[in-house]
Amino acid sequence: MKPFTSLTAIAAPLPIANIDTDQIIPKQFLATVERRGMAKGLFYDMRFDDAGKPREDFVLNKPLYQGAEILITGANFGCGSSREHAPWALDDFGIRCVIAPSFADIFYNNCFNNGILPIVLSDEAVKALMEEASGANHRFMIDLPTQTVSSPGGRVYPFEIDPGRKTKLLEGLDDIGSTLKRADAIAAFEERRRMSAPWRR
């Protein structure tokens, strides 16, 4: 998993609340366990019309937001089913950070295991960031070590994050990688247990 330290990138505003995981990645794209290639299904019904042509009015299709790595969106983002394909699709598309007033719990947890930083800010802060992202100058800076979001206009918004999750993102570790860091300690424990209770195999 790629470490996340700081990010200066285009932010795309998507002012819609309660976007569920089926909207993020529709069910027809779930017949795979491959993470790569998921970008084609991201927001499919929003990005494309019934004929499969890009909708010009959808934010991620607009030339101004090509290459966006930050998504600013509404409350309860990622609600619905627990499909991990949702953060896979965001990551494969290039979205490394999502800012919203709130997230669905399972989606929020899945983001950290896929190298995506979900940032919770107040409704007022998110609204202000969306307004700035809607202008011509829409490059934002996310700094994880200092836990701040800096807007093009110079506003700085601090955010909270669990220290353990912050460390995992900084080091580029998912749950498995975090466990493997303790491989020597785990092996030593298993050896001590084997020696003290050899009848337990």
User: pLDDT digits over 34-58, tens only?
Assistant: 778 899 999 999 999 999 999 999 9
Instruction: Spell out the long-range contacts of 103-106 with Cβ–Cβ below 8 A and sequence spacing 24 or more.
Output: 103/76, 103/77, 103/78, 104/21, 104/76, 104/77, 104/78, 104/79, 104/80, 106/78, 106/82
SS3 call for 18: coil
Distance CA 116, CA 92 (A): 11
- Predicted pLDDT of residue 198: 62
pTM score: 0.86
Res. 31: pLDDT tops 90: no
- Strand pairing report for 70-73 and 148-150: unpaired
Question: What is the residue extent of each domain of the chain?
Answer: 6-161
pLDDT confidence tier of residue 197, bands split at 50, 70 and 90: low
Does the structure show a pLDDT above 60 at 179?
no
CB 23 within 8 A of CB 45: yes
Taking a C-beta distance cutoff of 8 angstroms, is the pair 44, 38 a contact?
no
The answer to whether the beta carbons of residues 70 and 7 sit under 8 Å apart is: yes
Task: Please write the tens of the pLDDT for every residue from 62-78.
Answer: 999 999 999 999 999 99
pLDDT in tens, 88-126: 999 999 999 999 999 999 999 999 999 999 999 999 999
Q: What's 6-161's CATH class? A: alpha beta
Among 27-36, 107-116, 158-167, the minimum mean pLDDT is found in 27-36
Ordered DSSP codes for 158-185: E----HHHHHHHHHT--HHHHHHTTHHH
> Quick one: pLDDT band at residue 180, thresholds 50, 70, 90?
very low
State residue 186's pLDDT score: 45
